[in-house]
Structure 1
């Protein structure tokens, strides 16, 4: 069993996956910052300064008028936090769009690299075939 585990870890796919997870975690932090620090303020500006995260409805319990969502939760009230859900959906859509644009760009770069590779292969001078070489060797041996 230990040998199987060593074989599993030694495979290239596991290392590729680990690198992908690490890069993904770093990318997630960047995208979260972009959404929270750059895009959400513009959304709030266009919505007239409305902060979705503090929109909720009290299902049971008492909460002071105008209290934040955190204050309502700390008071022990059961709240229906629809604003936080709306922000989660907006964040998801933005992150999905950013990932889509990134994948689209990577695919374009990959296609351009493949085209260049195909052009290099097509431009390579054609040499003699294997049959031509064997024929030359045969003829040289006959003359000797």
Structure 2
């Protein structure tokens, strides 16, 4: 029971997932601050956006009120997602893959025995039958 649990925990995908969740959570505050203090002002230089994220198409509803689709918030969320993914990849996934490749390189190479094909076996049987027939 304990061995099965150890095998489960030692699987690379479980560890990768745990690292991604923990690091993603830890960097959320940093990424949010970067987006709010650097990216949003840069976007504001190009588009008319205010602090509430009301950048986007504006339509008038049936009552004559203007409705805004806040695409600024969506843009900020997409940028934040890619920033987190980039940090997780370069700080954790890439070094882990490099480490795994080095560990695999240290293991001795396994020599695979290739079994003969059906045609090769049939040719061998034919040759043996010919040899037996000619020896009589």
TM-score when scaled to structure 1?
Answer: 0.46
TM-score when scaled to structure 2?
Answer: 0.48
